[in-house]
């Protein structure tokens, strides 16, 4: 994975650069909380730089390195409840995520 | 004491004494006999929302909705004339499913079993080796079986009654008029989730029309965004014959979660370009409360349109599969993102909605499993659970009406 120059340090989180909700969610629920927390702690403070950087591009025509960075940002959205709400990867006492299917999204890059 | 302060201390159930106050029997949630009656009297007679016109935007595009509750599958297709029609997805030769996938596009509807072909208007137009039938196939009588189909604000409804007693407009009545003009079709970005949930369909409907469970069930997630007691947080409750409406205020002291803050700051959470200052139809935030958080529009029997901040709406539908099983479907719509920050904000909102729903669904299954225990035979209902009472009442009325027919 290659990220834009100023975000190269985040390339160590390549495993989180996943294109679909299903994959990002599966990554979240199959990760240890320490791994999630490490990813969150590295990403969250950078978001104020990442989002304006990404938003310079047309969302439907992003260069590959920016697209990978967007996928990391979307993974941050995926793990946010694990960190901010539950302090564990899955929803506390929740319905099995694997029984909850995500269908393809329309109108989304 | 101001009017608004007085208002907060009136228990909502006292305003609707006709809904009753006694605990309700668990029978309608567990009885196979009752479920059999519901299938015919409710799902067989009412208008059911199956998709949006945006699911079939162009002529030849189709969408299939399985209706296990009525032992059929409905095929919605847009004709070359632009009209959206509905048919039983049943070939009139040997009963195969005409459309096999949930959605697709075609010039004609072709059954893959023996190759019978129907026009987009349902007429039978092609029978391979027609001379091989000793009795000529009566093409005029072998078109796809039509299902009453109509649209409201881009939502496609069907009615499986061969002779619906009401038009869709009559069925929706004043309830729907209040929402007309909401820019549903502009909110075209769409996340969809589905799950089979092991509970009675009404238990699941109740989970999404219950103001009482918020503080406990959603203590990790949504609870802080609201005020807690329904007496304090509900701005309006209305009943429109079979349908029901709730408008709720949020907690003005709520501090957004850290990632929610990012979504707010960068992500165009609101969509002012779609929503001019006077965007709200009268049915949205009808009290014009400055602390408004959400409206829940519950369409009888099984559909919700939940509105939150401008720029979003959620559609939930709950399809019975058996007395103790149903299919949950959530569709989350927003304006298409103009940039990556907006894309991120939409993902965040979708994920938080999804995780909150996961909190509800597991409880619904626990409840249903426990209803078989013999350890409980009725539910005492809180003012925040008034809608459960209304749902039971309307279902009962449908069954009584069916028995009089």
Is B347 in Cβ contact with A84 (below 8 Å)? no
Mean pLDDT is lowest, of B32-41, B83-92, B308-317, for B308-317
- Give pLDDT, residue B311: 80
Question: Which among B188, B344, B362 has CB closest to A107?
Answer: B188
Q: What is the pLDDT of residues B184-216, one digit of tens each?
A: 988 888 899 999 999 999 999 999 999 999 999
Closest CA to B259 of A74, A25, A70: A74
Q: What is the pLDDT of residues B60-108, one digit of tens each?
A: 999 999 999 999 999 999 999 999 999 999 999 999 999 999 999 999 9
Confidence of residue B9 (pLDDT cuts 50, 70, 90): low
Q: Could you tell me if B29 and B57 lie in one domain? A: no
CA angle, residues B96, B97, B100, in degrees to nearest 5: 135
- Give pLDDT, residue B362: 98
Task: Say yes or no: B339 contacts chain A, CB-CB below 8 A.
Answer: yes
Domain stops at, among B128, B163, B198: B163
Q: Could you tell me if B94 and B32 lie in one domain? A: no
Any idea what the CATH number is for the domain that residue B365 is in?
Answer: 3.90.380.10
For residue B337, pLDDT over 90 is answered with no
Q: Could you tell me if B63 and B17 lie in one domain? A: no
For chain B, the domain total comes to: 2
- Give pLDDT, residue A104: 67
Q: How many CB pairs under 8 A join A and B?
A: 140
Chain A neighbors of B193, CB-CB under 8 A: 100-103
For residue A3, pLDDT over 50 is answered with yes
Q: Could you tell me if B327 and B184 lie in one domain? A: yes
The pLDDT of B300-326, averaged and rounded, is: 94
Chain A neighbors of B195, CB-CB under 8 A: 95, 99-101
Q: Could you tell me if B181 and B241 lie in one domain? A: yes
In a domain, B169, yes or no: no
Q: Could you tell me if B204 and B353 lie in one domain? A: yes
Is A108 in Cβ contact with B337 (below 8 Å)? yes
Q: What is the pLDDT of residues A10-42, one digit of tens each?
A: 999 999 999 999 999 999 999 999 999 999 999
Local structure of B280: helix, strand or coil: coil
Is A70 in Cβ contact with B344 (below 8 Å)? yes
If you measure CA to CA, which chain A residue comes closest to B265?
A: A48
Is A78 in Cβ contact with B220 (below 8 Å)? no
Sign of CA dihedral A25, A31, A37, A41: negative
- Give pLDDT, residue B4: 45
Contact B333, B315 (CB under 8 A): yes
- Give the global pTM: 0.94
Is A57 in Cβ contact with B347 (below 8 Å)? no
Which of the pair, B336 or A99, is modelled with greater confidence? A99
Closest CA to A53 of B266, B264, B337: B266
Confidence of residue B230 (pLDDT cuts 50, 70, 90): confident
Confidence of residue B1 (pLDDT cuts 50, 70, 90): very low
Share of chain A above pLDDT 70, in %: 94
Q: Could you tell me if B374 and B281 lie in one domain? A: yes
In a domain, B280, yes or no: yes
For residue B148, pLDDT over 70 is answered with yes
- Give pLDDT, residue B71: 96
Chain B neighbors of A100, CB-CB under 8 A: 193-195, 354, 357-358, 361
- Give pLDDT, residue B6: 47
**Residues B167-181 as b or e (16 or more Cβ within 10 Å = b):** ebeebbeebbebbee
Confidence of residue B271 (pLDDT cuts 50, 70, 90): low
Confidence of residue B7 (pLDDT cuts 50, 70, 90): very low
- Give pLDDT, residue B290: 87
- Give pLDDT, residue B200: 98
For residue B350, pLDDT over 90 is answered with yes
CA–CA separation, B266 and B341 (whole Å)? 6
Mean pLDDT is lowest, of B2-11, B151-160, B184-193, B304-313, for B2-11
Question: What's the domain range around B187?
Answer: 3-42+175-404
For residue B310, pLDDT over 80 is answered with no
Contact A109, A27 (CB under 8 A): no
Q: Which residues contact B196 (CB under 8 A, 6 or more apart)?
A: A99, B321, B325, B326, B327, B328
Chain B neighbors of A108, CB-CB under 8 A: 189-191, 336-337, 343, 346
CA distance, residue B251 to nearest chain A CA (Å): 18
For residue B348, pLDDT over 70 is answered with yes
The pLDDT of B211-228, averaged and rounded, is: 90
Is B340 in Cβ contact with A73 (below 8 Å)? yes
Q: Could you tell me if B131 and B194 lie in one domain? A: no
Residues 166-195 of B with CB under 8 A from A: 188-195
Q: Name the residue ranges covered by the structural domains of chain A.
A: 17-96
Chain B neighbors of A17, CB-CB under 8 A: none
Question: Which among B189, B221, B346 has CB closest to A81?
Answer: B221
- Give pLDDT, residue B275: 67
Task: Say yes or no: B217 contacts chain A, CB-CB below 8 A.
Answer: no
CA distance, residue B256 to nearest chain A CA (Å): 11
Which of the pair, B338 or B139, is modelled with greater confidence? B139
Is B340 in Cβ contact with A91 (below 8 Å)? no
In a domain, B170, yes or no: no
Q: What is the pLDDT of residues A60-105, one digit of tens each?
A: 889 999 999 999 999 999 999 999 999 999 999 999 999 999 876 6
Confidence of residue B10 (pLDDT cuts 50, 70, 90): confident
Task: Say yes or no: B164 contacts chain A, CB-CB below 8 A.
Answer: no
Question: Which among A77, A86, A100 has CB closest to B348?
Answer: A77
Share of chain B above pLDDT 70, in %: 95
Is A62 in Cβ contact with B220 (below 8 Å)? no
Q: B234-240 and B189-197 as β-strands: parallel, antiparallel, unpaired? A: unpaired
In a domain, B329, yes or no: yes
The pLDDT of B282-288, averaged and rounded, is: 91
Peptide bond into B385 cis (omega under 30): no
Q: Could you tell me if B112 and B195 lie in one domain? A: no
Q: Could you tell me if B138 and B81 lie in one domain? A: yes
Closest CA to B296 of B306, B288, B286: B306
What 8-state DSSP symbol labels residue B213? S
In a domain, B168, yes or no: no
Contact B302, B317 (CB under 8 A): yes
Q: Could you tell me if B141 and B208 lie in one domain? A: no
How many angstroms separate the most distant Cα atoms in chain A?
41
What mean pLDDT is reported for chain B?
Answer: 93
For residue A108, pLDDT over 70 is answered with no
Chain B neighbors of A65, CB-CB under 8 A: none
CA–CA separation, B11 and B3 (whole Å)? 15
Q: Could you tell me if B231 and B253 lie in one domain? A: yes
Task: Say yes or no: B274 contacts chain A, CB-CB below 8 A.
Answer: no
Contact A81, A88 (CB under 8 A): no
Q: Which residues contact B260 (CB under 8 A, 6 or more apart)?
A: A80, B348, B352
Chain A neighbors of B365, CB-CB under 8 A: 95
If you measure CA to CA, which chain A residue comes closest to B355?
A: A91
The pLDDT of B309-333, averaged and rounded, is: 94
């Amino acid at each position: 994975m290659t990220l834009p120059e100023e975000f190269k340090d985040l390339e160590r989180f390549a495993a989180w650069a996943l294109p679909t909700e299903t994959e990002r969610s599966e990554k979240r629920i199959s990760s240890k909380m320490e791994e999630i927390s490490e990813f969150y702690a590295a990403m969250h403070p950078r978001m104020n730089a990442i989002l304006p950087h990404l938003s310079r591009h047309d969302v439907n025509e992003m260069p590959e390195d920016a697209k990978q960075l967007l996928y990391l940002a979307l993974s941050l959205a995926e793990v946010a409840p694990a960190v901010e709400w539950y302090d564990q990867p899955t929803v506390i006492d929740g319905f099995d995520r694997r029984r909850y299917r995500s269908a393809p999204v329309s109108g989304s890059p | 004491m101001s009017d608004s302060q007085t208002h907060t201390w009136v228990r909502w159930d006292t305003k609707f004494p006709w809904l009753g106050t006694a605990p309700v029997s668990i029978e309608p949630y567990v009885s196979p006999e009752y479920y059999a009656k519901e299938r015919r009297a409710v799902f067989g007679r009412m208008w059911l929302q199956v998709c949006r016109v945006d699911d079939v935007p162009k002529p030849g595009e189709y969408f299939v909705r399985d209706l296990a509750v009525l032992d059929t599958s409905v095929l919605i297709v847009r004709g070359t004339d632009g009209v959206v029609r509905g048919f039983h997805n049943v070939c009139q030769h040997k009963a195969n499913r005409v459309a096999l996938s949930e959605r697709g596009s075609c010039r004609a509807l072709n059954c893959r079993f023996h190759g019978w072909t129907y026009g987009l208007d349902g007429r039978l137009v092609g029978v391979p080796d027609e001379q091989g039938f000793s009795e000529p196939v009566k093409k005029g009588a072998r078109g796809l079986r039509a299902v009453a189909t109509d649209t409201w604000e881009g939502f496609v409804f069907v009615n499986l009654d061969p002779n619906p007693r009401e038009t869709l407009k009559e069925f929706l009545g004043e309830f729907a008029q209040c929402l007309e003009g909401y820019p549903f079709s502009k909110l075209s970005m769409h996340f969809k989730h589905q799950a089979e949930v092991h509970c009675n369909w009404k238990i699941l409907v109740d989970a999404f029309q219950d103001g009482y469970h918020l503080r406990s069930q959603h203590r990790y997630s949504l609870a802080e965004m609201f005020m807690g007691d329904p007496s304090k947080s509900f701005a309006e409750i209305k009943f429109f014959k079979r349908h029901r409406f709730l408008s709720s205020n949020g907690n003005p002291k709520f501090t957004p979660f850290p990632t929610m803050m990012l979504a707010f700051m960068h992500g165009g959470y609101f969509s002012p370009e779609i929503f001019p200052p006077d965007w709200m139809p009268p049915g949205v935030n009808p009290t014009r409360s400055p602390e408004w958080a959400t409206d829940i529009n519950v369409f009888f029997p099984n559909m919700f349109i939940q509105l939150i901040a401008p720029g979003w709406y959620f559609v939930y539908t709950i399809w019975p599969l058996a007395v103790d099983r149903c299919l949950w479907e959530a569709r989350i719509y927003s304006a298409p993102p103009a940039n990556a920050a907006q894309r991120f904000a939409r993902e965040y909102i979708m994920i938080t909605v999804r995780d909150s729903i996961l909190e509800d669904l597991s409880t619904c299954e626990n409840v249903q499993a426990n209803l078989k225990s013999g350890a409980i035979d009725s539910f005492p209902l809180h003012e925040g659970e008034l809608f459960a009472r209304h749902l039971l009442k309307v279902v009962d009325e449908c069954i009584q009406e069916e028995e009089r027919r």
